[in-house]
Structure 1
Amino acid sequence: MKQVILHSSVEDKLKRGRWILEKDDFPQLDLDNQAVAFYSRKGNFLGTGYLSPQNKGIGWFVTEETVQFDQVFFQRIFQQAKAKRTAYALDNRTTAYRLFNQEGDGFGGVTIDCYGDYAVFSWYNAYVYQLKEVMTAAFKQVYPEVLGAYEKIRFKGLEQESAHLYGQKQEEPFLVLENGVSYQVFLNDGLMTGIFLDQHEVRGSLVDGLAAGKSLLNLFSYTAAFSVAAAMGGAVATTSVDLAKRSRELSEAHFLANGFRMDQHRLVVMDVFDYFKYAKRHGLSYDVIVLDPPSFARNKKRIFSVAKDYHKLIAEALEILEPDGILIASTNAANLSRRRFKEELEKGFGKTKHQYLSEYGLPADFAYNKKDESSNYLKVFTIKVDK
């Protein structure tokens, strides 16, 4: 195993719990896609990790121990991760959740999700992809109940984005449960699966009646999972808006899977900012508005960045929100701190009176590094607006 001597500033980052390795900290490094042992300039052993470029950095510090990334190592951390999620495994109202979440479970660069009897591995760099045989062998030992698995390739360099990994193949699409709600998912069709699992607590608040008796507008709706959850919780009408044409078909499948007719649930294929104009022009307003945009988006008309433009969403939403309405403001931008996100929200509210009802981060199955704020990337606020 190659040895890497760390600058004192990088050593300090590791001691503070920042385990993602950044390119700027290794200007002369010419190693990649391999395990390494880290040492201080004084020659003290600091721990074991690996180097491999991905969108978040150039590698990961993994453990302060001397280890080999072999089947024994992965069986141990998979077993530890499984023990944390016993409550999810026993919950017959939820059959889709995260089994292993990168550095939060002891190894950055890979996630594993449960969808019913199947698992989905996501590889975020070439080094973890090289380890997939040893990882899947370890996973089979810890999860013999899983019938089969698929993989998502989330780094550049390979032609395919998705593939069958091992075991049985699932006839697609099929249904999973979350908070007692059925969602149609697909495991081998690009990088998406039909639902973002990290939002299940927020959707749970809607199932529990946050929008009961109310109308709900779901913007950047993808497959309208928030809308379906609201309908299950008693919302009288929902409108789901997304620019992707495929979103209509996928969203309708969720509603039909739960026995809803579509006459009170509109699916609109449109740019969100164009929809704000449409709604104001037609005198439309809503009791609850969900804002869950991508961190960055570009279309023919505009570029949207959560860090710079979220306040515009808030300001526009206020114009079509009913008196005493509720906003659910969400972002998964890891580079935007909770404090900065809240500042962006406040910029949008201006002088409009409002109160924060609840706040969400990642749910318990999405274990994260508690010493590194960016590891807990999800930030959601439920806000009551007094107007």
Structure 2
Amino acid sequence: MAPTTGDDMILSIDDIKKAASVKLPSIVREFYNAGSTNQITVTENTTAYSKYRLRPRVLVDVSKADMTTTLFGQRIDFPLCVSPAGIQAMAHPDGELATSRACAKRQVHMGISSFSNYSVEDVRAAGLEVGPIHHTMQLYSMQDREAQLRIIKRAENAGCAAIFLTADSPVLGVRYNEYRNDFRTSEGLGFPMLEKTSDAIRAQTHDDGFTAVNSDSHSWAKEIPWLRSVTKMQIWIKGVLTAEDVQLAIKYGCDGVIVSNHGGRQLDETSPTIDALPECTRAAKGKIRIHIDGGIRNGTDIFKALALGAECVWIGRPMIWGLAYDGEAGVTKTLDILYEEFKRCMQLCGCNTIADITPASLGIIRRDGPLARL
């Protein structure tokens, strides 16, 4: 057998990350990969998955295993979607357009960041050229309500299914690498949804630019009723880590929450999202949809998140690495790797449908030795 070379050697998300790292300038690589302050949360988001162990069932016919699920009224290939990550054109010139096309090809949904380098209209069109796909529009609470409303209306008119309100960012997290590198968005890249040109963006640090736009006086009572009054899109809260906030999301009539710590980029030393998930799932009591992002690096992680109560997972950095590695083809490769790993994990655990994945599928490592069932 001939030795494998090139793309044939890209077998895992870690391979994608390594290939991307070679191509990205150090300042850009650190912007994408780093977390806040001491990097504890950004690291533990991934490592926390390893304490959960699989409990496979054997002699199960899994020849017709079905990974599909329904989200926003549309069937998707497997319970994974792509998170609204900003400034994707620093990873590859096609940025969010390439990501949208790859998502449509793999038949999963995509979130669009307010800091997208392409407009919601163009990102939507790029995906729909390939196949049916839903998009969500990520939104911050903004000082300029009229500008915020323009984003919402553009997203709604473009056909977005939901608003993802980022709730964990009244201020930007402390990111040492951005200060040390004097990080600024690469020249020539604008933020069309925020109506900002490249020159205007580069005239400020990333922190100052965020502070100039974002409102730190947001609240449940202010944001959710206002959003309900101006849009018919679903309203999801991104950045929830506690039962208390899940209960508030239910109280204010939100459609779903994303259990998220902003990829470890906001407040360091918060709980890894996979560890916060069970508390949030219990608090939901089936009254609100629960999704998760943060630290997912293989198909087994997806399986574990579903076993702990998530309906769907969202990925950010793996998609960015795929984009940097090889544009649309790189994102497609990333999604295909995760799809195949998840499928095999389901089959090897004796699960034929998403409904078969339950807490009984997992145990947790105990210091005294025996695996503890959940």
Q: TM-score, normalized by length of structure 2?
A: 0.32
Question: Which structure is higher in RCO with an 8 Å CA cutoff and minimum separation 6?
Answer: 2
Question: Which is greater in Rg?
Answer: 1
Higher helix proportion, which one?
2
